[in-house]
Amino acid sequence: MVWLIVATLAASFIKGVCGFANTLVFTTILSFSFNNIQITPMDLIIGYPANVIIAWKERRQINWRISLPVAALIIFGNIPGIFMLKNVDTRTIKVIFGFFIIAMGIEMLMREKAGKKQKQSKIILGLIGVLSGLCCGLYGVGALLAAYMDRVTEDSHAFKGNLCFVFWIECTFRLIVYPCIGILNWQIFRQAVCMIPFMVLALVFGMKCCGHLNEMVIKRLVIIVLILSGIALVIQNLC
């Protein structure tokens, strides 16, 4: 229980600051004491209200022409990802995704230093969207989705608003499917619900800290966390 509280506090603080990466923090801390099939549904329950809170706070920045098509792509990729979570050893896939996330993070950092937005290919963005859904369905990690949103939003408020709105839709879908296929049960649900007060406390603190950082610092922080997420994903599944 102590490590569950620690994982919830750490993950929710990161969520408040960056808008994502909470799942990788949560999973990394709990991976020594829980199986992935237990961690993913717990993270879903704990993180669901966090996405609602951030999406509501940044609701004026949500661009429906961006978020709704992305949400559809995410759900499309979710379906095979969810069934792979239940039936397949996904370590190799996670390592591949990890290296892909690292490469995208480095490319984003170089693009940010260049100081100019490049025109994005709709085909590439669509592919990233579907892969993001597969990634979320497998283990709830939204790093690829964060990389996608960085390409199509202008500032940190739009980034967080659109990202967490899509997370909310995607999490609602998984919240319906998980109990139906036996991934989410009453015991896991009860454990996760007990962590929600800790989640709210750490989330609000993270959002307050974020309010004292300038736009460029937040942008760089998001990219660094993205790269670290990929590294953590690779290390966690190679060891």
Q: What are the 10-residue block averages of pLDDT along the chain, 239 residues in total?
A: 90 87 80 75 92 93 87 78 68 72 74 59 69 67 75 83 91 88 89 94 90 71 75 76
**pLDDT for position 4:** 92
Between CA 67 and CA 200 the distance in angstroms is 25
**pLDDT for position 47:** 92
Between CA 85 and CA 77 the distance in angstroms is 13
Q: Which of 4, 20, 39 is nearest to 206 (CA)?
A: 20
**pLDDT for position 3:** 86
- Tell me how many domains the chain contains: 1
Let me know: does 45 contact 141? Beta carbons within 8 Å: no
Longest dimension (CA), the chain: 50
**pLDDT for position 193:** 94
**pLDDT for position 113:** 66
**pLDDT for position 90:** 61
Domain span at residue 129 reads: 2-238
Let me know: does 104 contact 147? Beta carbons within 8 Å: yes
Instruction: Give start and end residues of each alpha helix (H) in the chain.
Output: 2-18, 22-30, 36-57, 64-87, 91-114, 122-139, 143-152, 156-180, 186-194, 196-210, 215-238
Between CA 15 and CA 152 the distance in angstroms is 20
Who's near 151: CB < 8 A, 6+ residues apart?
Answer: 120, 125
**Rounded (5°) CA angle 65-224-22:** 70
**pLDDT for position 111:** 66
**pLDDT for position 234:** 81
